[in-house]
Amino acid sequence: MTPPLRTAHTYELTPAELAEIRAQLEDAFEGDLGDEDWDHGLGGVQAFVRDPDGALVAHGSVIQRRVLVGGRSYRIGYVEAVAVRADRRRQGLGGRVMAALEQVIDGAYAAGALAASDDGARLYRARGRQPWAARVETLGPAGVVRLPEEEGCTYLRPAAGRPLPVAPDGALVFDWRDGDVL
């Protein structure tokens, strides 16, 4: 039996559901999930899977961000907090969560973006995401700042039926946020 997948905007989730999601993410990221990381995944659409017993086994979210590409500002769906419980990995649950998030991106944004860990990169490539091959920057309080540590692990996917934004100067400039920008 395929475990049920649910999508809901953050505002639709109860405090108990949000606490459960955060606990699952903290476990999946082995304690490496700070308050700012948690905050980055809120305010958008959450997608999650529960096993038949009701236990949370997979999660991801998509939130709105702005990115400057080629002199234009785009609304993009930025994927956050994708994690599958350790004992349920490699069973297609991450792909199901991503498919739900991609449906949101296709309906609401010019493109989707995310920063991938080494473990997650294989899933994202298999789903048609392409690593951004040039500079990654942020428009911070002090102006544009290059993020060399994000180059090579920032992935984009055009929304269905739309071309991927092109940057003649090579720069992908994300909006600023506290904590890890990407």
In CATH, what number is assigned to the domain containing residue 101?
3.40.630.30
SS3 57: strand
Residue 170 lies in a domain: no
pLDDT for 23-36, tens place per residue? 999 998 887 888 99
Q: Which residues pair with 66 in a beta bridge?
A: 75
Supply the pLDDT for residue 169.
66
**What interhelical angle do 93-108 and 118-126 show, nearest 10?**
60
Average of per-residue pLDDT across 137-150: 92
Is 131 or 169 the better-scoring residue by pLDDT? 131
pLDDT for 50-95, tens place per residue? 998 889 999 999 999 999 988 889 999 999 999 999 888 888 899 9
Residues in the chain: 182
- Quote the number of domains for the chain: 1
Residue 168 has pLDDT above 60, yes or no: no
Helices (H), 83-170: 93-108, 118-126
